[in-house]
Homo-oligomer: A and B are copies of this chain.
């Protein structure tokens, strides 16, 4: 396992961790100044901006972009909305390419309003992945499926398990030496999975691990979406999972992504970034 305690070049900050409290240019400066090697921005910060200027600032700050967050949800009640969702994601993939992002992070969505048919939602997701993979490959951007914890299965992601994401990859792209379709593994979503070791090995063998997100699961968790913990404050054995993932061949950035509306997002950016540094060194 890589030593993250001396050099934060292998560590990245997902901008959601900072609670979107400053414009992207200030966020890029702060992340670079804190010594991190990468930054993963969100569309809300980028769309409507001068993307090439943002990309230049990121490049000149010496930062890598491991992933661009995130997809428009896919499943829709009718084909016209489905096609609109695909188009929105194509545009975002083009922006990811302009940013020099290594991947486009897909949170796939789930049941359209009023639907109870999760199988139908999954079928739409599979169809969309095939379409977006084509655009990603043409744009030079890998598609990273972020399977979410099953607590989000109703409203945010009908893709819950790493094994499911890998099944999609195998079915859509087949066995290729340099895949363009893979997964982004967030410890928050997978730590509980009894098949985690098996599936990480499979993902690594297929070179399908495009990203690694870290945060922690708090006990108690006050809110299912926005009460994620700083690394070390919860019950996830993050070093054990990172050991598995790096053991499976992953050599990309380790990215802190912490949704914490009532705690971390209320603190100043320098404090959040300093704490992330400490915790990358001691708890990741």
Q: Using a CB–CB distance below 8 Å, which chain A residues touch chain B?
A: 111, 115-118, 122, 149-151, 153-155, 158, 160-161, 164, 191-194, 217, 219-221, 224, 234-237
Q: How distant is the Cα of A237 from the Cα of B164 in the complex, in angstroms?
A: 20
A115, A164, A193 — which one has the most chain B CB atoms within 10 A of its CB? A193
Pick the contact of A122: B115, B161, B194, B236 (CB < 8 A).
B194
CB neighbours (8 Å) of A153 from chain B are 191-192
- A150 with B192: CB separation less than 8 A: yes
Q: How distant is the Cα of A116 from the Cα of B116 in the complex, in angstroms?
A: 35
Q: How many copies does the complex hold?
A: 2
A122, A151, A217, A224 — which one has the most chain B CB atoms within 10 A of its CB? A151
- B151 with A224: CB separation less than 8 A: yes
Given A221-B224, A224-B151: A194 in contact with B235 (beta carbons within 8 A): no
- A151 with B150: CB separation less than 8 A: yes
Question: Do most interface residues of chain A lie in helix, strand or loop, or is the interface mixed?
Answer: loop
CB neighbours (8 Å) of A118 from chain B are 191-192, 237
Closest to A122 in B: B194
- A160 with B194: CB separation less than 8 A: yes
- A95 CB → nearest B CB, Å: 30
Q: How distant is the Cα of A151 from the Cα of B194 in the complex, in angstroms?
A: 14
- A209 CB → nearest B CB, Å: 20
Given A160-B192, A224-B221: A151 in contact with B151 (beta carbons within 8 A): yes
Q: How distant is the Cα of A117 from the Cα of B217 in the complex, in angstroms?
A: 13
- B192 with A155: CB separation less than 8 A: no
Given A111-B235, A116-B236, A117-B237: A194 in contact with B161 (beta carbons within 8 A): yes
Pick the contact of A116: B160, B161, B235 (CB < 8 A).
B235
CB neighbours (8 Å) of A117 from chain B are 237
Given A111-B235, A161-B194: A154 in contact with B116 (beta carbons within 8 A): no
- B194 with A154: CB separation less than 8 A: no
- A220 with B122: CB separation less than 8 A: no
CB neighbours (8 Å) of A236 from chain B are 116
Q: How distant is the Cα of A279 from the Cα of B153 in the complex, in angstroms?
A: 23
- B161 with A219: CB separation less than 8 A: no
- A52 CB → nearest B CB, Å: 39
Known A116-B236, A117-B237, A158-B192; 18 more pairs at CB < 8 Å: A111-B235, A115-B235, A118-B237, A122-B194, A149-B150, A151-B224, A153-B191, A153-B192, A154-B192, A154-B219, A154-B221, A154-B235, A155-B220, A160-B193, A161-B194, A164-B194, A221-B224, A224-B224
CB neighbours (8 Å) of A155 from chain B are 219-220
